[in-house]
Amino acid sequence: MNDSNPYTLRFDIWQEAKQNLMDRFYADREDWTNWNSADIEMVGDSPVPERPICPTAEQIQNEAEKIYAFVQTKS
């Protein structure tokens, strides 16, 4: 995020938000798959109770807005 162009900044923040949500999605999907696999015996409740769904554009936008709000604060 080195460029001072506001459009580039917005795109960089969008990409960061998307990557954060996709990383979480892939981790949750792996956990869910392992816990629900017939080949693997797990003990206890699954840390991911429902099958993860790929993030939507709206969820990415919400995450990007959180990042942008953080970047804008001076504290």
Tell me what the pLDDT averaged over the chain comes to.
88
Mind listing the pLDDT tens digit for each residue in 29-44? 998 888 887 677 766 7
Locate 28 and state its tokens: 């949750």
Structural domains in the chain (count)? 1
CA dihedral 13, 14, 15, 20 (to 10 degrees): 90
Is 6 inside a domain boundary? no
Is 24 inside a domain boundary? yes
Locate 25 and state its tokens: 């999605």
Is 3 inside a domain boundary? no
**Residue 63 burial (10 A CB sphere; 0-12, 13-18, 19+):** buried
Is 61 inside a domain boundary? yes
To the question of pTM greater than 0.85 for the whole model, the response is no
Q: Which range of residues forms the domain containing residue 69? A: 19-37+52-75
Is 64 inside a domain boundary? yes
Is 71 inside a domain boundary? yes
Q: Is the CB of residue 21 less than 8 Å from the CB of residue 55?
A: yes
Q: Is the CB of residue 55 less than 8 Å from the CB of residue 32?
A: no
